A and B are shown apart, each in its own frame.
Chain A
């Protein structure tokens, strides 16, 4: 193995000068980047020499140094929660016994495409990140979890892992695992339970995953984009990482822009960029915008003029009561009805529940009913009060955050479309409800 490792050592390409793109710099043409192309873009996997030396103490020191660099970079999780990655790795590394690393590529958000883009086009950057995280925490097992309904993606990833095995790149073999493509299966405790042979459903904490996860061992579950950033930080350092973004929200991030936008799709932005700038980068609104859904189906509606100035970062969005989520932006045009869109999405979330916790089993359908009444029937003057009364009965009362996401969306709809909501409640539905649905909901096509 050592021989292979030495022969593979080669000069790194110069560190990228431009602030953008970083992760997406590896995208060439329309095809997935193979191992050779990946290494010519980014250089080989930057595992410290000590990792291969067999000297355990030196290996541990190098692992600690890697965690230090990640911590100094200020990298936070790109899956939605935004937890500091360095701190997570440190606490898992400190846990008892050999650890497990899990890359979460099971993008559950219907309006998100960024993880799929990374995995399908630049898989080796993610796999590098898995290998580095495994080294940092002393993991002996590594998993990459994706939805099993995308057979081509799974096959492509398995081929990429195999190419690395042949080249002797990874110390810990990476296993590609397919899980059910449902919304709650993407939640980290659900993934851990699935890897442990149980159903892919969320569990009640404690035990927490970083203490006792896969096979009862300390487990680091990281989003695949987070790991791709880690692969970049290990190459170019924390100072380079902080050259983009803001001091409190360093680096770049991937966003998925959809709805009434000229060029929908995934783009890479500097954290902290105003949402208006991000939308202009995507060609600008295709119609006069009414509001922007930020953060996905667990996210927040912001009136367009307010959203325009808000900075795309965890602190920026928290300051307006929102959340970054997985970097999703959906532009709602004036001609659409935000209440109807919300009602559809909350119905979808109600149907997608794991069916484990009472407040979610009964509360979400009740919330979806009340929202549908407001959006499509209205005219009785009581729907807004019903919705507002249900929210506190649901929020924070499930084992996972699924119900909270739905209430956050509903509450933000009542705030962002407050004028509309009063109109619907008293007079009846607006013309916007007749427009074709904007937010994608899996299963829509089947029901037509």
Chain B
């Protein structure tokens, strides 16, 4: 079961928490909004990815389980 991250761009207000918690996978654009790769989160980062999603102040970071977009 692969997990992918997705951002709800309407909810996201560029707190940048996700990139702070998961810099290996998430980077920020020049305006502070997260750039999330479309490929599955590597296995060793899944725990951190879930934490980042839970820590997002606007709940804009979503973990999609095994489903294609």
Contact = CB atoms under 8 A, between A and B. Distances in A.
A163 interface: no
A362 B35 CA distance: 14
A359 B33 contact: yes
A358 B33 contact: yes
Nearest to B33: A358
B39 to A, nearest CB: 14
Counting chain B CB atoms within 10 Å of each CB, which of A358, A362, A363 scores highest? A358
B29 A393 contact: yes
Nearest to A357: B9
A303 interface: no
A374 B13 CA distance: 30
Interface string A355-390: 011111111001000000000000000000000000
A399 B9 CA distance: 6
B29 A359 contact: yes
Nearest to B11: A204
Contacts of A362: 30-31, 33
A397 B33 contact: yes
B10 A359 contact: no
Pick the 4 closest A-B CB pairs, nearest first. Answer: A357-B9, A362-B31, A358-B33, A356-B10
A357 B12 CA distance: 7
A362 B33 CA distance: 10
Given A358-B13, A358-B14, A399 B8 contact: yes
A112 interface: no
Contacts of A398: 9
Main secondary structure of the interface of B (DSSP, over half): loop
A203 interface: yes
A393 B9 CA distance: 13
A360 B9 CA distance: 9
B40 interface: no
Contacts of B9: 204, 356-360, 397-399
A356 B13 CA distance: 9
Contacts of A357: 9-10, 12
A203 B11 CA distance: 10
A399 B30 contact: no
Nearest to B60: A204
Size band of the interface chain A makes with B? 10 to 19
Contacts of B13: 358
A358 B32 contact: yes
A48 B58 CA distance: 51
A360 B29 CA distance: 12
Given A359-B9, A397-B35, 18 more contacts: A203-B10, A204-B8, A204-B9, A356-B10, A357-B9, A357-B12, A358-B13, A358-B29, A358-B31, A358-B33, A359-B29, A359-B31, A360-B9, A362-B30, A362-B31, A398-B9, A399-B8, A399-B10
A361 B32 CA distance: 12
A299 B51 CA distance: 40
A358 B29 CA distance: 10
Interface in A342-358: 356-358
B34 to A, nearest CB: 9
B30 A358 contact: no
A196 B14 CA distance: 28
Interface in B3-47: 7-14, 29-33, 35
Nearest to B31: A362
Nearest to A396: B38
B16 to A, nearest CB: 11
Nearest to A394: B29
Contacts of A359: 9, 29, 31, 33
B45 to A, nearest CB: 21
A363 B30 CA distance: 9
A399 B7 CA distance: 9
Contacts of B10: 203-204, 356-357, 399
Nearest to A393: B29
A429 B32 CA distance: 33
A398 B11 CA distance: 11
Contacts of A360: 9
B66 to A, nearest CB: 15
A393 B30 CA distance: 9
B52 to A, nearest CB: 17
A357 B32 CA distance: 12
Nearest to A389: B30
Interface in A182-213: 203-204
A190 B32 CA distance: 26
A277 B8 CA distance: 44
